[in-house]
Amino acid sequence: MRPRPPQPSALRFRHRPTHVRVDRSALLHNLAVLRRAAGDARIMAVLKADAYGQGLIPIAHSLADAGVDYFGVAFLEEGIALRQAGVEAPVLVLGGLVGYQLQHFLDYHLELTASSAFKAQQIDAEARRLGRVARVHLKVDTGMRRIGTRPETAIKLADELARLPGVDPVGVFTHLVGAESPAEPTSRQQLDRFDEVVAAMRDAGTLPPLVHVANTAALLSLPDCQRDVVRPGIGLFGVAPASRFPQADALRPTQSVHTEIVFFKGVRKGAGVGYGHTWHAPRDGWLATLPVGYGDGYPRALSNRAQVLIGGNRYPVVGNISMDQTMVWVGDDQFEVGEPVVLLGQQGSETIDAWELAEHAGTIAYEILCGWASRVPRVYDDMPPSQRVDDDLPPSPGRTRGGSL
């Protein structure tokens, strides 16, 4: 008879060393910086994509404890997760509305985005069917061309929303195309267009109580765009909205990514490394293998481009990054198995930030932050010891020599 496997509650195992570390003291520092920039405007913390890869629920609770009383998410599922975790503050779902989900929005008391007369009528009909009133924000498309009503139809739609018995219009908003480039005139043109719409709604008596425009980039680079609410996202996590954005210098990154050397070997001059042998050793030297790959969110596009930090120094990633493993050339230096490695973050006096990885991968820092897979544990620097990864398990065997030339 096949032996019975251990029950889930009895399983105790040590995770591989790869993990995302989140510094919640940096989160609160960034919140304070953004609050100063916001002036009297209310903060709506935007926690899309698992709070930019930091963990939706822990981050939401940290911000709520710090006094944030409004949240924005992209999709219904994220809003439901907040409600199920006990978050009671208003939550606006910023993304497009799927009609068959309407009852769930109302069941979980989530605020909706109305981007057209058709959507507004759908919301009203479902709310009246359920005997409820939906809290709605009118989205005005001033240039993004994603969702939202055009400025020339927004005033009429605001009037219609005010007349629908199943709708409570609580907000009107737009989104800027390129506020991370403050010298570029598009954002100012969008703001002017939006302000004209807001003034017309005010004159008509249909202006909702909350007007909002500013994301992180606008909040830091366009100081007159705060309105009633601001919507910081990436700035909460200490990352600039563009690679060269001095307005964000006061922010501190919350996310770092760590692993360890799990294999160490010598290779001869000319030896090929990894799938396709896209890199060859320039001389006899040493390779370190890391237990992380593109299956964890370390992009394959970083192959032969990125660097990692070991012992406070930079070493190049060599060969094609595999799904689960990455090789690093350390040349004449030697390390032991178990040596800490930083993929993203600081070690000693060296730092690898999200924009550095993004530029090597041909993408943006947002994608780096959000891309870490769910199989990579999130560890919070201020966790009590009883909640840290593997804290109550026996210590690891420690560092060992891993190979020879």
Q: Which residues are marked as active site?
A: 48, 275
Q: Give whole-number Cα distances, 330 to 31, 273, 326, in Å.
A: 39, 13, 13
Q: Is 400 exposed, middle or buried (0-12, 13-18, 19+ CB in 10 A)?
A: exposed
Q: C-alpha angle with apex 108: 103 to 109, nearest 5 degrees?
A: 95
Distance of CA 344 to the CA centre of its chain: 15
What radius of gyration, in Å, describes the C-alpha atoms of the chain? 25
Beta-carbon contacts of 39 under 8 Å, excluding residues fewer than 6 positions away, are 226
Nearest by Cα to 327 from 276, 400, 397, 396: 276
* Residue (of 165, 163, 111) closest to 138 by Cα position: 111
Sign, CA dihedral 96-100-105-111, equals positive
Residue 171 backbone phi and psi in degrees, to 5? -155, 160
Q: Which residue has the tokens 């190979």?
A: 403
Identify the CA nearest to 319 among candidates 265, 367, 370, 242. 265
**Angstrom distances, CA of residue 6 to CA of 2, 15, 115, 391:** 12, 17, 52, 21
- What values do phi and psi take at 148, rounded to 5? 120, 150
User: Whole-angstrom distance between the N-terminal and C-terminal Cα of the chain?
Assistant: 46
Alpha helix segments (H runs only) across 131-215: 151-163, 186-204
68 by Cβ neighbours in 10 Å (0-12 / 13-18 / 19+) ranks as buried
DSSP letters spanning 87-132: --S-EEE-SPPPGGGHHHHHHTT-BEEE-SHHHHHHHHHHHHHHT-
Whose CA is closest to 74, among 47, 98, 43, 53? 47
